Amino acid sequence: MGEWAFLGSLLDAVQLQSPLVGRLWLVIMLIFRILVLATVGGAVFEDEQEEFVCNTLQPGCRQTCYDRAFPVSHYRFWLFHILLLSAPPVLFVIYSMHQASKEAGGAQPAPACTRGRPEAPCAPCSLRARRARRCYLLSVALRLLAELAFLGGQALLYGFRVAPHYACAGPPCPHTVDCFVSRPTEKTVFVVFYFAVGLLSALLSVAELGHLLWKGRQRAKLPPAPAPAALPSSRADPDPFGPPAYAHRAPAGDSEGEGGSGHSKASLATVRQDLAI
């Protein structure tokens, strides 16, 4: 159960980025697939090759007939199914963690955003959110394709019924032999249950994909936010015919005497310093 717990912890991180439909898919994945297969599936299919009995003692005949009856074991087929379905969400989690570590580590510093102000959105944050939405949309599409491929493969390989009897002919068997499968009814119930869970999971993936596309289209229809208006300046425009800024005027009352002479000398010293610079 250790490897299932590790996979479940990785899938549990997906719900932070998923809508409600995605979280329902995650519940179906964790409970009705991983938990059921780990607790019940192993006990049902662990002895399928040992209990596959044929009415012959010819060496190699029973193994060849089992390989023809079941090209891939049910249990291993579903294990590979779960691993392939988990790959797109886990890759999305790895991508999100990588982006978060880059921002936290300073490799790509995040600019200050004006949160809570829809009239002034943060362009870099909007770009990161758009990339995250596209990556999540791609992961849902890949998950749906894998689901449909495995459902078709299960229907082609096993059908919907595990037959209790299998007639086998061909080398190394000397003649047509009869082989018998253990617990065919229980295995049939499990096959139908797992196929029904796969159909439900595929429908949830289709609903989530449509929901994401609809939200993206609604977001694209929104008008662009206007740029924030510039604040009026409290300083008046300078007079083009007035003296330069560094030419400090002396007060009117001190235009004569020593006070006026001191201010004039200070102004001239400032002018020379500014011109020298």
Peptide bond into 172 cis (omega under 30): yes
How confident is the model at residue 275, as a pLDDT? 38
54 touches 174 (CB < 8 A): no
pLDDT top residue among 99 and 258: 99
Rounded Cα distance, 121 and 118, in Å? 6
Residue partners of 190: CB distance under 8 A and separation at least 6: 40, 41, 44, 45, 74
Give the number of other Cβ atoms within 10 Å of residue 180's Cβ: 14
Percent of the chain with pLDDT over 90: 14
How confident is the model at residue 249, as a pLDDT? 52
Q: What pTM value is reported for the model?
A: 0.66
- Using a 10 angstrom Cβ sphere, with 0-12 exposed, 13-18 middle and 19 or more buried, the burial of residue 65 is buried
Residue partners of 148: CB distance under 8 A and separation at least 6: 202
Tell me the per-residue pLDDT of 214-234, one tens digit each, with 9 for 90 and over.
Answer: 877 766 666 655 544 544 544
Tell me the per-residue pLDDT of 170-195, one tens digit each, with 9 for 90 and over.
Answer: 888 888 899 999 888 999 999 999 99
Pick the range with the lowest mean pLDDT from 17-21, 96-100, 101-105, 110-114: 110-114
Average of per-residue pLDDT across 231-260: 49
Residue 161, CA distances (Å) to 68, 80, 94, 172, 202 in order: 16, 21, 39, 27, 21
